[in-house]
A and B are shown apart, each in its own frame.
Chain A
Amino acid sequence: MRILIVDDQATNRAILVWLLEDDGHEVIEAKDGLEAVNLFQEHEIDIVLMDVMMPVMDGLEAARKIKALCIDGNHVPIIFLTALEDDKALSECLESGGDDFLSKPYNEAVLKAKIIAHLRIRELTQQIAESNKQLTLYNNRWQREKNIVSHIFNRALEHNLSDCDNLRSHIAPASSFNGDILLSAPSPSGGLYVFLGDFTGHGLGASIGTLPIANSFDQLANRHLSVGEIAYEFNRMLLTMLPDYMFCCATLLEMNPEGNCVQLWTGGLPDGYIINADGSIKEPLVSQNIPLGIEKSEQFNKGFQVKSLAEGEKIILFTDGIVEAENHSGEFFTEQGLLDVFTKGNTDPFSGVLEKLNDFTQGAEQNDDITLVEVSSGVVKIKDTQAPSQDHYQGVNWNISFELGVDDLQRAHVVDELMSVLGAQTVLRPSKDIIGLLLAELYSNALEHGILQLSSELKKTESGFIEYYQQREARLSALEEAYIRIRCKIMRDDERELILRIRFEDSGSGFDTTAVMQGEKDDSFGRGVSLIRKTCKRTEYFNNGCAVEVDFPVTRNINLGDS
């Protein structure tokens, strides 16, 4: 260690030098306070041994100056060596910044012990200063990173409809990062998707999983997947991404455009409720599946529930942060706290729950993220610009054709294969289901009546119905040469309406088209043609039924009959 000794008596200094150098210390000498201050600035000193009464500058003033030079947590102990013995003088030593004192004549052993003790204090102080510096550094870095991450999360959660009449939500994270996630998106048919998820834990760790979900939600919604399929995709994503102990409790719903029917996938959130128009509970929505991010894809259940909603009915969903919200006495809000709100006459359950929760917690610290969501029945109204436009198709007029040979015709679910191509076209997505049905019916007609020459007459009786399909199987497997050519074209018709023109041509010898066109009453056959004619603007047979062309209005709402 480097020790600065300050004394105007050369002999005193010499003794100290001799003593300390023996112990391996490096010693620097000053003969008065001023010289001490100067030397202190020139060298890195670990400890100062200071006389009190000296010419030029006394020890007290030198101590004050030296202490003032010690900044940034650099603690340099000053031990006064003094002949003074009165209490006043000793307390002055400490007040001037001294850390200890020793009366002259001093005992060597005591002096050495004091030096060791003070060096230890200096070392500890240095360690603390170093740790503090590191902490400050880490904290600054964390703040910077937190800002970046916050930005990313905020952007991700912008995948949300801000202006949908059917949706109300209250989102209160426990920290700056939210492990709860609420997403909403329009469905291509004009309905509404809502996703509410709660990741295990809260804070940044829990938030991480929300990113991939938020980013892919719009895309999945745009593909008009069922809630079960979306849940399946999310599950797959989280399974590969999250550590085993993390998962996401979630509810996913899709409301139809009319707002009177929802499809629900539920996995692990507390029971939601369907609330009657009068405020009472119509039905609890009990979770049907285990949370996302646990089940292997092969075992995942894509099934979902379907619930109808009458006018004025609402769905209330929430995360467990609400039932587990604590008040100042450490009591939980509990599920009963919620149920008490859902009573007849209380027609605004959403506000009711929030008011009751506020009254209960009285601002007590929140331990978990809280999200409350209300989805109301009624025609889905989204004012957002995010709603997909159905009207003004500006894309190119495309044309997709397929030629199916015997091998294709003998395969099951060929229409599904065609739909995997057509269904991916943005312009067709909203009416994917109906187009799938159309293709299936056109396909059955071409195959069964055109190529296989099966007669609809058979289907008039129940036993004939079965025979019809037995013959279908037999003739299909014996088929040697045949084709069906399909052309799908997106275009505008004479009325400038956007249509999908579908043309089927088959290698069969035709069939009696008038009989098929008329047979659309109560009989179990002819229904296919009836479905086609009701959904299309134009249905025209050519070449004795070997070719058929239909125009499907892509952007028009399908007439849903009487119901």
Chain B
Amino acid sequence: MSNVNVEKSGANIQISITGRFDFNLLQEFRDAYSNETDKDCHYAIDLSKTDYIDSSALGMLLNMKNHLGAEDRQIEIKNCQPNLIKIFSIAHFDKKFKFI
């Protein structure tokens, strides 16, 4: 099973990460959004099954945002566990992504 799963329904694309979200998922994570040709897609990242992130994951998320040319708080990060929320808030990611 892949650690990065993409579900597309209409213009909504949800990327779910299972387990550790770090540089080992670099290519997989990049593929999840960069192959999409429709520029008006709405992206959500589901972290309910993610138990670990590090700064490389933060970098990967920012890369995604830049690649898609997304506005601040346009990409959603969903179902974040409290330990991850801590890390995101230390990095002030709540200004860049929409946490729900």
Task: Determine the distance from Cα of A535 to Cα of B24 in the docked complex, in whole angstroms.
Answer: 25
Total contacting residues, chain B, CB less than 8 A: 36
| A residues in contact with B99, CB < 8 Å | 563
Is A27 in the interface zone, CB < 8 Å from B? no
* Residues in B whose Cβ lies below 8 Å from that of A305: 48, 79
Which residue from A306, A412, A525 sits with its C-beta under 8 Å from B59? A525
Contact segment of A91-99, A437-445, A547-555: A437-445
Are B26 and A561 touching (Cβ within 8 A)? Answer: no
Residues 406-458 (chain A) with a chain B CB within 8 angstroms: 412-413, 433-434, 436-437, 440-441, 444
Beyond A263-B82, A305-B79, whether A524 also contacts B90 by CB under 8 A is no
A466 touches B27 (CB 8 A): yes
**What CA separation (Å) do A528 and B54 show in the bound complex?**
8
> Is there an interface contact between B48 and A444, defined as CB atoms closer than 8 Å?
no
Q: CA of A444 to CA of B24 in the docked complex: distance in angstroms? A: 13
A200 within 8 A of B: no
6 A-B contact pairs sorted by A residue (CB < 8 Å): A261-B85, A306-B81, A434-B86, A444-B56, A465-B26, A466-B26
Q: Total interface residues on A, using CB and 8 Å?
A: 40
Structural contact, B89 and A444, CB atoms closer than 8 A? no
Contact A444 to B80, CB < 8 A, known contacts A531-B90, A558-B86, A560-B89: no
Point out residues on A near B: beta carbons under 8 Å.
191, 226, 256, 261, 263, 303-306, 412-413, 433-434, 436-437, 440-441, 444, 459, 462, 465-466, 469, 472, 522-525, 527-528, 530-531, 534-535, 558-563
B8 in contact (CB, < 8 A): no
**Which chain A residue has the least Cβ–Cβ distance from B92?**
A561
Does A560 contact B58, Cβ atoms closer than 8 Å? no
A524–B58 CB distance below 8 A: yes
Question: Within 8 Å CB of B85, what residues of A?
Answer: 261, 563
A525 to B23 Cα, complex, angstroms: 13
A466, B30: Cβ atoms closer than 8 Å: yes
Q: Contact at A226–B51, with CB atoms within 8 Å?
A: yes
Q: Which residue of A lies closest to B95 (CB)?
A: A562
Q: Do the beta carbons of A527 and B83 come within 8 Å of each other?
A: no
Contact between B54 and A440 (Cβ–Cβ < 8 Å)? yes
A contact residues around B49 at 8 Å (CB): 303
Q: List the A residue with the shortest CB-CB distance to B30.
A: A466
Those 8 A-B pairs whose CB atoms lie nearest each other, nearest first: A524-B59, A528-B55, A433-B83, A563-B94, A561-B89, A524-B62, A527-B55, A560-B89
Residues of A within 8 A of B94 (CB): 561-563
Query: Which residue, A303, A437, A441, A466, has most C-beta atoms of chain B within 10 A?
Result: A437
Tell me if B81 and A462 are in contact (CB < 8 A). Answer: no
On whether A437 and B87 interact (CB within 8 A), knowing A303-B48, A528-B55, the answer reads yes
A561 CA / B89 CA spacing, docked (Å) = 6
